[in-house]
């Protein structure tokens, strides 16, 4: 019988909220650990029931039962880890350190349960007769989930794997915490108004508001993107741009308690050891066995192909930018902190367009309305603001999503502005996945989290064009989750191969460049006038400005990732140089700027050391091939063509991970994707 304290824990109750949404206002930090421990206990009991039944193993009583186990644990962790990224605190980070080894051990308990594996293997050996494609995928994933996580190891190696996984999980949390602390620690307070030269009025006002909020006089700038990016883009004060750049690029690389170099060394070492234990030559070999690319060789060849096309363009662009800086300001040696500043000036001179010219047409509320209208025109869905859905921060906006027939489809959370408890960047996540239950179709609860320019005392939130594309990008992920129509949660929505998951998100960015879409929402926040056609043409004309250098940056990040994870040294220390030296060698020939001693990308490269992109950062470029090829189908038939949109929804968005992505893509396009579409769109081929 539950104790009184347990009955007061909201995780132990069925949510009676609107659409079963999380009652954030009722959850306290002390609720997490007891609920997670109980969730682990419940899951173990469910696993034991599968193992010890005397019934003949079948797909239903083994594979489906395993899929449905751990419901309470999923309920708690989906709340905790999402908030630990979007609204964390020192106390939550301490809880994360406490529960991480518990969850790691529990995962290992399942993966290395010999009795459970025997049941799964027996069902797997029965073959796939009578199974749907989705059931076949679930069975294959279940079997691989054991073989790829130590089920075939001897007891000694199983114990070693447990130790590795527990330590890796802890290190990943430490990595992220240090990056966040470094980001929050830096502030640049300007008290001389002359040092604001070049900065747009809205940026000045935001900086003044930030200073006032912290009871300081002057203008305060931080490493949050809406503060950092405009400063290094527009400030004429080169020495201040340098200060901001060095602070941003040296996160977790300084000689203090937040340095991540040893953390990276150990993470890479443990990943290699784990891969070797499981019979793979490298961590990349292990990861890519379950990706479209399949092998490190394929990834390296892919990146090399893109590099070969982009490098001449990038070199020409750098020479052009260097000459421009020399011409207008007498700069003899272009530095990293000059890149955004002179690129923006040259872009404005060449195309008579810049972010500040466009910003008044991109009021956040209107852009959000535009992305909703785009979804309605494509897929018939609509968004309705709800004030009766609990939220974890006052900035969050909640919506009910309805399908084309007006029926409930999903819950959508939008969290747009930076704050101290939120990590940098932008991402989509789910608080609840879509799946079929005994009660029917469980609809998803989806969220997008961003760090956009905040409103000021006199202006609403006015976005840069890059922020507009970011919103469309994350909304593409959200559509993948909201339109899910599978049977099993582990195959639903964005539960797909990592080099396929960026297709819907990157595809949505294409609509931002089309007049037919921009006319829906790009209206001046003061006059209401629609964005001029010549501005739209300039957006399109300038789309490939510096695309060679942008491509080289993405290729470089992919090579840094593969440099860390494709090494095959069989338990020797994989990195026998400093992190900075290793990183520099990985991108040799790809970066034209002088080296900056204080800068290191890897120490804050959260995608690969905290997120799920280790050995997978290449997937952004891989998915660009898919999205460019996909958008050509829309261009051929009309960007809002209902038949093309319906086909994409049914074959890609709703299908999730029910079948191999190559099968799904061929079903949509009738063939494999062609890299030429990407190269053509980026202006890298004629």
Residues noted as catalytic:
474
Contacts of 331 (CB under 8 A, 6+ apart): 322, 325, 338, 342
Distance CA 20, CA 6 (A): 20
Could you give the 3-state DSSP secondary structure of residue 581? helix
Dihedral sign from CA coordinates of 97, 99, 100, 102:
positive
Q: Which residue has the tokens 């469309």?
A: 472
Rounded Cα distance between 261 and 259, Å, is 6
Q: Is the dihedral of CA 225, 226, 231, 232 positive or negative?
A: positive
Helix H or strand E encompassing 30 = none
Measured CA to CA, the distance from residue 572 to residue 381 in angstroms comes to 54
* Strands in 416-458 per DSSP E: 427-432, 435-437, 440-442, 445-449
List the one residue out of 284, 628, 428 whose CA is nearest residue 620.
Answer: 628
Beta bridge partners of 402: 382, 408
Q: How many helices and strands, by DSSP H and E, does the chain display?
A: 28, 9
**Could you give the CA distance from residue 157 to residue 168 in angstroms, rounded to a whole number?**
16
The answer to whether 530 and 466 have CB atoms below 8 angstroms apart is no
Nearest alpha-carbon partner for 604 in 557, 543, 553, 666? 557
User: What letters, b where the CB count within 10 A reaches 16 and e where it falls short, cover 92-105?
Assistant: bbebbeebbebbbe
């Amino acid at each position: 019988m539950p104790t009184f304290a347990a009955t007061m824990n909201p995780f132990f109750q069925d949510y009676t909220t609107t659409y079963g949404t999380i009652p954030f206002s009722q959850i306290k930090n002390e609720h997490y650990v007891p609920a997670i421990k109980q969730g682990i206990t419940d899951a173990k009991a469910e696993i034991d029931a599968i193992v010890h039944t005397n019934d003949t193993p079948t797909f239903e009583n083994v594979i489906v039962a395993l899929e449905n186990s751990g419901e309470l644990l999923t309920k708690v962790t989906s709340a905790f880890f999402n908030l630990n990224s979007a609204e964390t605190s020192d106390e939550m980070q301490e809880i994360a350190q406490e529960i991480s080894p518990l969850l790691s051990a529990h995962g290992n308990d399942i993966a290395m349960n010999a009795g459970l594996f025997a049941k799964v293997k027996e069902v797997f050996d029965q073959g796939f007769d009578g199974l749907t494609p989705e059931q076949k995928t679930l069975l294959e994933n279940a079997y691989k989930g054991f073989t790829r996580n130590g089920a075939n190891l001897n007891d000694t190696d199983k114990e070693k794997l447990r130790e590795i996984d527990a330590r890796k999980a802890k290190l990943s949390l430490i990595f992220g915490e240090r990056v966040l602390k470094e980001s929050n620690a830096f502030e640049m307070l300007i008290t001389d108004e002359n040092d604001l030269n070049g900065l747009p009025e809205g940026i000045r006002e935001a900086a003044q508001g930030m200073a006032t909020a912290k009871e300081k006089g002057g203008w305060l700038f931080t490493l949050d993107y809406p503060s950092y990016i405009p400063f290094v883009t527009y400030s004429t004060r080169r020495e201040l741009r340098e200060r901001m750049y060095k602070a941003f690029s040296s996160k977790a690389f300084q000689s203090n308690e937040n340095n991540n170099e040893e953390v990276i060394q150990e993470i890479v070492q443990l990943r290699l050891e784990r891969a070797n234990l499981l019979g793979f030559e490298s961590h990349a070999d292990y990861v890519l066995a379950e990706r479209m690319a399949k092998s490190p060789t394929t990834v390296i060849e892919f990146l090399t192909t893109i590099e070969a096309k982009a490098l001449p363009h990038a070199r020409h662009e750098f020479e052009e930018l260097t000459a421009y800086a020399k011409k207008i300001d007498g700069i003899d040696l272009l530095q990293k902190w000059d890149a955004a500043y002179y690129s923006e000036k040259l872009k404005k001179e060449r195309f008579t367009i810049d972010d500040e010219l466009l910003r008044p047409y991109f009021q956040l509320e209107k852009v959000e309305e535009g992305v909703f209208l785009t979804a309605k025109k494509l897929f018939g869905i609509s968004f309705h603001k709800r004030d009766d859905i609990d939220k974890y921060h006052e900035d969050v906006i909640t919506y009910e999503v309805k399908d084309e027939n007006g029926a409930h489809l999903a819950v959508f959370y939008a969290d747009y502005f930076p704050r101290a408890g939120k990590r940098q960047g932008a991402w989509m996540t789910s608080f609840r996945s879509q799946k079929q239950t005994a009660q029917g179709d469980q609809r998803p609860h989806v969220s997008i989290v961003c760090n956009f320019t905040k409103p000021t005392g006199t202006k609403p939130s006015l976005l840069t064009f890059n922020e507009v594309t970011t919103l469309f990008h994350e909304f593409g992920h959200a559509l993948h989750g909201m339109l899910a129509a599978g049977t099993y949660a582990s195959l639903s929505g964005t539960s797909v191969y990592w080099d396929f998951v960026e297709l819907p998100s990157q595809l949505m960015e294409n609509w931002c460049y089309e007049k037919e879409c921009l006319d829906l929402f790009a209206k001046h926040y003061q006059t209401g006038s629609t964005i001029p056609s010549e501005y739209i043409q300039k957006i399109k004309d300038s789309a490939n400005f510096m695309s060679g250098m942008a491509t080289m940056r993405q290729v470089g990040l992919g090579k840094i990732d593969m440099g860390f994870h494709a090494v095959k040294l069989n338990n020797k220390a994989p990195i026998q140089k400093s992190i900075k030296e290793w990183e520099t060698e990985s991108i040799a020939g790809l970066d034209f700027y002088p080296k900056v001693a204080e800068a290191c990308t890897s120490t804050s490269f959260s995608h690969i050391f905290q997120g799920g992109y280790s050995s997978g950062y290449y997937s952004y470029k891989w998915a660009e091939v898919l999205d460019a090829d996909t958008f050509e189908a829309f261009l051929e038939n009309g960007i809002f063509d209902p038949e093309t949109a319906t086909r994409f929804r049914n074959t890609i968005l709703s299908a999730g991970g029910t079948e191999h992505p190559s099968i799904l893509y061929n079903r949509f396009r009738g063939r494999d994707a062609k890299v030429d579409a990407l190269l053509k769109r980026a202006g890298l081929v004629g």
